[in-house]
Structure 1
């Protein structure tokens, strides 16, 4: 999806929410979002907290989450993956400084000047050389070192050279050092090695940059946040945690999910015993069965693996998905519910972790992680902030 298409989608979502116009409603609990942020910041005494908004704010809605957090004094930075996400935030008049975690192509580096208040992450020695040669306007950078994840980041042996190259350009302001843990929840030995590497990287950085006292040092995200007091850092990048998911080994985060999805029934009918439902007739009625058609399929974010095993809810009653989940439709068994009518709402995904349609339970069915389910929620679904 290019920037213009993304912008049109989000621009349309600016219009006031009118329930009668939408078959789907993705609801954001803004107070719970604030509660999650407050808990994480205060429990770990984090001086500077960065909220990660990449991938459409983990499916929650880049514009909606950005607007909520722009006025939140406990959030210092917003972090996105790419320049497109940064432009979208600025187009919605969101003012907080933005860290761009990913690579920005050389031919659009000049666009960073217009976005303003941007921090660019330097992920390789080659990128440092490009920036040193091409940047002719003030630009703040954080240097990422590879402590063992082996994705983005420069090696420790390249750190001195990288800093020297960046210093050649007076427009470039080095203001931070960062990295990322590979497996803080399941591989403690690897994390210890990465923490040792981080310590060495910090020492090199301080030798090369005498005025480091005002700089930012950040290694930890949600899963590794319990290491915060054990290492030298003053900033944490929290993504899945602020959205209400505890990915730590310790399971000591008092956070709750903030996103739920509702859909209106668009058809009700009775399937006779022996007849099938959906593509391939993967479900056959063993008795006359009352069904409802829900306008929400794998395009909207209902995983296809929920076919014949997943559940939606009407109030507190689970309603089993029958037949294959289609691109834009899912069928549920409503035989046990009386008086359901067209346009009554069912709950597709719940904030309640005990329900069968919670994001954690849905991810478990597919042997995946809630991140994957969340980011597949279509950006065309109307986000409603409560």
Structure 2
């Protein structure tokens, strides 16, 4: 990209305010965190109901960014940079991408549907890359923001594009069509995803079909419902398994763990074998085959390549590694666009100063190798990577471009040298093309734990945070609770994400939790909610901020603070307004005031209280009495001490139910993790944690035989039993067994039979098609934590925080 600001202004219809409109732009950014932002970056300050990119502009100017597309110029940024002012920054980004797309004329495949878009795109890239130089959407960049960013990755060397388009409501696809302008369309499966955004299935189909308004051909599964909505002027290339009038007629049968397709096309019938049996994978594979047929590939080539299709991993995962390392597993793709994304993710999730990149040869860049690896080198420098380990014949030739770089021709060479590479106390990004089998490297570096994992969706955390932010007044601050190991989800990784989102405070229960976060590099102020007097010295040493809730505690803290000759050390005063757990009561206030009046050793940073019934409207009168008492007591403290501290009383449910009491700050807790007491609000939140395991063993028992301790389950017929390696030592309560609870295997519920053991449980899989090694969902979307809590007569907090530390946490971003 070599456009100047002067070129861009008319494209996005901007009002130019600045001093240098001839600057060349080589990078478009919407992410203030990216270390790839530079003096040649054009930053689009996107806004929405839950976010505002303008708040990051001052910080970006300090980092050297000089060019911004904005809705308005922030007061403190005026005359410090160059601004392109528009009415809507997202529309400006889309206009710019549409213009950029118009500069290229080569086939573009556009994919939409409810399911399978990313898999079809990745498989097409695999199947066609021997013959084309392909640009494709990185990861699942298919949204109103993701599509333009994907298009902006095109360069002059590409000769085929594959882009996916996803929508969740009406009037979205027309915008994406103008940006992608596909010449070949693929309509994948139409399912129930995002149904809530459409009045009917018909409306959803019509909206998705807008992507194909000007394609040369539309590839689809022939279906009367869908075909009724297709514009007859659009040429279709259809397939079907039950309608021989389709262009391609397909029958299928299972052979072992494979599926054999008999494909009839233009009077020829030939077989294709694919290494999957599930319906979704088969349909996705057929769509890919249809593209190959349309392009005129010989049957033999299609047969050979389709047989090599593989499961697609669509997520960047954070895992614990050996020797106190943290791994970021992106071991199945290696292209320039996704490398940028992975490096940004590395910066967001780094847990160590030392950062290592293990990188294979890069494919599909559209650049010659000299230019490609020069750009890769610049990316690595800008992201402050400590060392680079290159693996591949090509990257080895460009070893000299990498500071502190070492290369190997293949994984086998790397394996031989493994013990001498000294991996320790570092964050390692593992990024490799599938052909390099980097999963072997992940296996060598990954901490060995049992097969049960709690997967944490960082995208969902961001969504939930922004959902609650949208309920706040513009000036209301936010504290987020990360106590109890982030409600069982993980401490540092979530704190790091919250730090990026510029939350004002983090809250922990005890000093050791805060010390752990500070030691890991978290800089956001951290309040310790339940400090013990024995921890006061450590709190001061690690710059934590204690909640003070008693005269005894205040005097103890002041004594230590005075010994250390502190001035204005931040503390937080807790008032008891009816919870009767911790806090100063009204009768204590006079003593509190006398101690603090004129005292310069500490500074009252905030005055807080805690609501006891904010989640239950039956106690509305009590909740409002707490708010009234808090107003009275906090006002008295402020008046008599002549201070203006932050005031806060609302927790998660209070944010929703008592918005009039936001004061200066609110405290978000379990809502961040996707849990609400309100059924309607729950629909707006995204699931964060999914607890997964696998089937260790399958056995068949006869009528009258029993399972587990105490023979609490006795079969009344021949029954298949799966043993799953998770038990009460992992946090699954024993009361969830004996037919009360269930797990989900291949989308079906399997009742837990017999007692939950310490390290395993058993489930009835008589009617479920599965095998040893099949994945098992313990909780997540189904069953939900809310459902489990209701069945067990407890609260979601207890379920979540009860998951043992021995269960590995895997953090991922879609």
Pair in the same fold by TM > 0.5 = yes
SS at match of 2:547: strand
Is 1:324 the counterpart of 2:755? The answer is yes
The CA deviation at 1:72 is 1.8
Instruction: Determine the structure 1 residue equivalent to 2:721.
Output: 291
Tell me if the contact between 1:141 and 1:173 (Cα under 8 Å) persists in the aligned partners.
yes
In 2, Cα distance between equivalents of 1:37 and 1:347 = 25
Instruction: Determine the structure 1 residue equivalent to 2:520.
Output: 92
In 1, Cα distance between equivalents of 2:746 and 2:497 = 28
| TM-score, with length taken from structure 1 | 0.89
Tell me if the contact between 2:695 and 2:725 (Cα under 8 Å) persists in the aligned partners.
yes
Instruction: Determine the structure 2 residue equivalent to 1:119.
Output: 545
Tell me if the contact between 1:160 and 1:208 (Cα under 8 Å) persists in the aligned partners.
no
In 1, Cα distance between equivalents of 2:787 and 2:682 = 19
User: Which deviates further from its counterpart, 243-252 or 53-62?
Assistant: 243-252
In 1, Cα distance between equivalents of 2:699 and 2:593 = 67
The CA deviation at 1:126 is 1.4
Is 1:148 the counterpart of 2:578? The answer is yes
Give 5+ residue unaligned stretches, structure 1. 1-8
CA distance 1:156–1:12, shift in 2 (3 Å):
farther
CA distance 1:253–1:14, shift in 2 (3 Å):
farther
Tell me if the contact between 1:246 and 1:253 (Cα under 8 Å) persists in the aligned partners.
no
Instruction: Determine the structure 2 residue equivalent to 1:54.
Output: 483
SS at match of 2:462: helix
SS at match of 2:554: helix
The CA deviation at 1:52 is 0.4
Instruction: Determine the structure 2 residue equivalent to 1:201.
Output: 633
Instruction: Determine the structure 1 residue equivalent to 2:498.
Output: 69
Is 1:31 the counterpart of 2:489? The answer is no
SS at match of 2:810: strand
Tell me if the contact between 1:324 and 1:330 (Cα under 8 Å) persists in the aligned partners.
yes
CA distance 1:12–1:344, shift in 2 (3 Å):
farther
Tell me if the contact between 2:729 and 2:804 (Cα under 8 Å) persists in the aligned partners.
yes
CA distance 1:217–1:12, shift in 2 (3 Å):
farther
In 1, Cα distance between equivalents of 2:707 and 2:811 = 35
* Cα distance per residue 1:270-309 (max 9 Å; x no partner): 1121111001011001111111111101111111111122
User: Which deviates further from its counterpart, 39-48 or 196-205?
Assistant: 39-48
SS at match of 1:373: helix
SS at match of 1:335: coil
CA distance 1:227–1:200, shift in 2 (3 Å):
farther
What does 1:348-363 correspond to in 2, within 5 Å? Answer: 348-350=778-780, 352=781, 355=782, 357-363=783-789
Is 1:15 the counterpart of 2:443? The answer is no
In 2, Cα distance between equivalents of 1:324 and 1:101 = 38
CA distance 1:337–1:59, shift in 2 (3 Å):
same
The CA deviation at 1:10 is 11
Instruction: Determine the structure 1 residue equivalent to 2:435.
Output: none
The CA deviation at 1:266 is 1.4
In 1, Cα distance between equivalents of 2:728 and 2:598 = 50
Tell me if the contact between 1:217 and 1:233 (Cα under 8 Å) persists in the aligned partners.
yes
Tell me if the contact between 2:707 and 2:714 (Cα under 8 Å) persists in the aligned partners.
yes
In 2, Cα distance between equivalents of 1:304 and 1:326 = 7
CA distance 1:358–1:97, shift in 2 (3 Å):
same
Instruction: Determine the structure 2 residue equivalent to 1:4.
Output: none
In 2, Cα distance between equivalents of 1:333 and 1:253 = 31
The structure 2 residue matched to 1:188, chosen from 596, 611, 620, is 620
The CA deviation at 1:42 is 1.4
SS at match of 1:241: helix
What does 1:229-240 correspond to in 2, within 5 Å? Answer: 229-231=659-661, 233-240=663-670
The CA deviation at 1:232 is 6.2
Instruction: Determine the structure 1 residue equivalent to 2:140.
Output: none
The CA deviation at 1:349 is 0.8
Tell me if the contact between 2:650 and 2:662 (Cα under 8 Å) persists in the aligned partners.
no
In 1, Cα distance between equivalents of 2:481 and 2:624 = 24
Give 5+ residue unaligned stretches, structure 2. 1-319, 330-441
SS at match of 2:459: helix
Instruction: Determine the structure 1 residue equivalent to 2:744.
Output: 313
In 2, Cα distance between equivalents of 1:158 and 1:10 = 51
Is 1:264 the counterpart of 2:690? The answer is no
Aligned pair count reads: 368
The CA deviation at 1:103 is 2.3
* Cα distance per residue 1:329-370 (max 9 Å; x no partner): 1101111123412x22111111x2xx3x21111111111111
Tell me if the contact between 2:597 and 2:641 (Cα under 8 Å) persists in the aligned partners.
no
Superposition CA RMSD, Å? 2.2
The structure 1 residue matched to 2:804, chosen from 373, 378, 383, is 378
In 1, Cα distance between equivalents of 2:557 and 2:800 = 34
Instruction: Determine the structure 1 residue equivalent to 2:602.
Output: 172
CA distance 1:327–1:155, shift in 2 (3 Å):
same
The structure 2 residue matched to 1:163, chosen from 593, 607, 610, is 593
User: Which deviates further from its counterpart, 77-86 or 232-241?
Assistant: 232-241
CA distance 1:157–1:11, shift in 2 (3 Å):
farther
* Cα distance per residue 1:103-154 (max 9 Å; x no partner): 2223x321122212x2210111211121222212352111000001100000
| TM-score, with length taken from structure 2 | 0.43
* Cα distance per residue 1:63-104 (max 9 Å; x no partner): 22222222222x111100000111111222222110100022
In 2, Cα distance between equivalents of 1:99 and 1:362 = 31
Tell me if the contact between 2:456 and 2:811 (Cα under 8 Å) persists in the aligned partners.
yes
SS at match of 1:158: helix
The CA deviation at 1:24 is 1.1
